[in-house]
Structure 1
Amino acid sequence: MLPSTICLDIHMAKSTRGHQERLKAIETLLLWEGQVSRPRLSELFDIHGTNLSKDMAAYAELVPGNCCYETGVRAYVLTSDARPQLSEGKFHEYESLVGTMPAEGLRAGVELLTTEQHATAISYRPFSRIHAAIREGKQLSIEYRSLGNPDRHQRTIRPHAFIQAGPRWHLRAYCEGAEAFRDFNLGRISRVLDPKATSLPGPEADIWWNTKIELRLVPHPELTSAQSRLVRDEYMGRAAALVFEAKQAVAKYIVRNYGAATNVSKEHPPQYLLAVDKPETLPPRTFI
C-alpha cells in the first residue's frame, strides 16, 4: 500500500556514474549554476571527495577556457567565454542531473518513455545569474513578458527559489513593482542582468512560501462507488485520499498537475477524476 502522505521535498539518490559522465555533470553544473564545488558534487555522486576534486581538475585541464578556480568561494567558476563542450548546453540535461526529470530509461534493457517534457525556453547564461542571485541573496533586473503585459518590460526582483511544476519552471521572487512576492515563468524571461546587492525582502518575509497547508485530493464526488474505488486504487493505494503537506505557494501547481477540481459544481468527470477535499477550509486565494 502506498503511504497516505507524500512529502514534496525531492531527495535524489546519489550516483556512482563513471568518470566521463561526471565530467559532463561538472560542465552542466558550471553552465547552469555558474560554479561547481566538491560539496555540490558530493550531493549528486557517491564518490570519495578526493576523486571529485580530481574530476574537477581534469575538467579544467580538458576545457581550460570554460572555468577558473576561485579560492574565495573554493569552487570552479564559469568564465564569460564558456561554451558547451561535453554537453549540449540544453536545459533538459540540467533537469535530469538535479533529479527533477526521470533518467533516460530504466536501464537494464528496460525502455522508459515519458511525456513529461520541459516547456521552459531559457539558456544557461541567464539561468546561472538567477541561480547566483538566489545563492547570494541579491536582486536582479529582468526583462519579462506576461499575459497581462505581453510586451517586454523591466522588473526588479529578489528571487529565492525555483519551482518545477510539470513541464514548466517558475521563479519565486519579491517583485519591487508589485511590492509583493510573485511567481515568474522562466520561459517568459528574455534578459537577466548581473545580480546586485539588495534591500528587498527575502524568503523569510514570504508568508505563502513559509505557510504549510494540508492538501487532500479525493475521488470526484460525482463518480460512482465503483469508479471511486478505481481512482483510489490508481492514485492512492486504496487510501481515502492523496495527502500533501505543501507550501501554500505551490499548492496550485499540485492541483494542476493532478488535474483536480477545485469547484465540483463546475468541474465534472471524466475530465476531472480527482477533487480538492474541502477547498473552502484552505487559506483564501490558494489556487490563484
Structure 2
Amino acid sequence: MFEELGFAQKQRLAYIDFCLLFKGSIYRQDLINRFEVGLSAASRDFNIYKEFAPKNLSYDSREKRYFQTEQFLPLFEHDAKRTLVKLANDISDGFDAIGDVHFPVESPSSLNVPDIFIVARLVQAILNNKAVNVIYTSLSSGSGARELVPHSIVDNGLRWHIRAFDRKSQSFRDFVLTRISKVSIKNTPEAHELVEVDKEWQRLIPLQLVPHPKNVDYPTAIEMDYGMENSQLLIEVRASMTGYLLRRWNVDCTERGTLIGAEYQLWLQNRFTLRDIENLAIAPGHKE
C-alpha cells in the first residue's frame, strides 16, 4: 500500500516524520504552509501517516498539535550524513526537511563555494554522458583550456572536485571545482574515457585503522569516536579517495606509528595496502 502512494504524498509524510523525529511535534498548519495544500488534504495526510505508524504520534486537542510518542520509530530512513549537511546549510525538502526552526548544527568553513552554474553544466555532462571544454587554473601551469570527460563530483572533506578523464594527459585525474571558470558541453566520449575504465575509482582499498599506539592515552575514546569494533575500524575506500581520507582524518601512515602530535589519533595498521595507489603524497607519514 505504501508503494502505491505518489511521490508528492510521500514527501509530505516524510515531512511529518521528520518534524516528529527532530522537533518532537508538528502542527497541521506546518504541513499546509510547507506544501501549500488545503486543510482537508493535510488532515488526510495525517490520517494516512497514522495508518502506517499509529504509535508514532498523539494529538493534543488543547494545543492543536501532534506530538511524538515514547513508542516513536521513524517511518522513513533519514540518512544521518545528508540530514546533518542540510541542517547545517539551512536547506529544506520533503525528505530532509528542517522547516523554519534553527537547529544547533554548524558546518566547518570551506575554502570557497563552487559556482552553481559551473556545477550545473558539469552535472548535465555527467548525466548525459558528454565531454566538456573547460577553462581550468592549475597550480603548475596556470589557466588554460582542457577537454575533460567528467564522471563524478566528490567532496574530499576540504573542497569539491570532479573526477574526470583528461584528454591532455590521457589519464583520469581530479579537478577542483572552484578552479573551473567556464564549461561548454561537447561530444560523446570514447570507450576508454568512461568511468568503467577508471581503475583508481573502481578499485576499493581496505583500511585497518586503530587508535594511535603512542599519542592516545585512552584508546576507548577513539574507539567510540569512530564506532570501532574489537579496537579497530575496517573500511573500504576508493583508491582515488584514499589519500584524501587519510589526510582528513590525520591517519599516521608510517610503518610503526612514529608520528608525534595530538592530531594523530589513528594509525593505519595494514600499511601494505597502499601499494600502487596514486596521489598518496598527502597521506601523513607515507613514503613510497
Q: TM-score range by the shorter chain?
A: 0.5 to 0.7
DSSP-derived class of the 1:144 partner: strand
Which consecutive unaligned segments of at least 5 residues does structure 2 have?
1-9, 16-30, 37-80, 91-96, 282-288
Rounded to whole Å, the distance in 1 between the matches of 2:110 and 2:84 is 10
| Larger RCO: 1 or 2 (CA < 8 Å, sep 6+) | 1
Match of 1:208 among 174, 196, 200: 200
Matched, 1:230 2:217: no
Matched, 1:218 2:174: no
Match of 1:267 among 259, 264, 267: 259
**TM-score normalized by structure 1?**
0.60
Residue 242 of structure 1 is matched in structure 2 by 233
Supply the AA of the counterpart residue of 1:161.
Answer: S
Query: In the superposition, relative to structure 1, how do residues 181 and 278 fare at CA in structure 2: closer, same or farther (>3 Å)?
Result: same
Rounded to whole Å, the distance in 2 between the matches of 1:19 and 1:188 is 43
Residue 169 of structure 2 is matched in structure 1 by 178
Q: CA RMSD in A?
A: 3.4
Supply the AA of the counterpart residue of 1:129.
Answer: R
Give the drift of 1:134.
0.6
Q: Deviations over 1:191-248 (max 9, x none)?
A: 1112432326100100011111211221122235x43233223333464212212211
Supply the AA of the counterpart residue of 2:243.
Answer: K
Match of 1:280 among 254, 260, 272: 272
Matched, 1:126 2:118: yes
Which consecutive unaligned segments of at least 5 residues does structure 1 have?
1-12, 24-96
Rounded to whole Å, the distance in 2 between the matches of 1:148 and 1:217 is 34
**How does 1:1-288 map onto structure 2 within 5 Å?**
16-17=14-15, 101-104=85-88, 111-149=103-141, 151-199=142-190, 201-223=193-215, 226-237=217-228, 239-263=230-254, 267-286=259-278, 287-288=280-281
**TM-score normalized by structure 2?**
0.60
Supply the AA of the counterpart residue of 2:232.
Answer: A
Rounded to whole Å, the distance in 2 between the matches of 1:19 and 1:169 is 36
DSSP-derived class of the 1:161 partner: strand
Q: Which has the larger radius of gyration?
A: 2
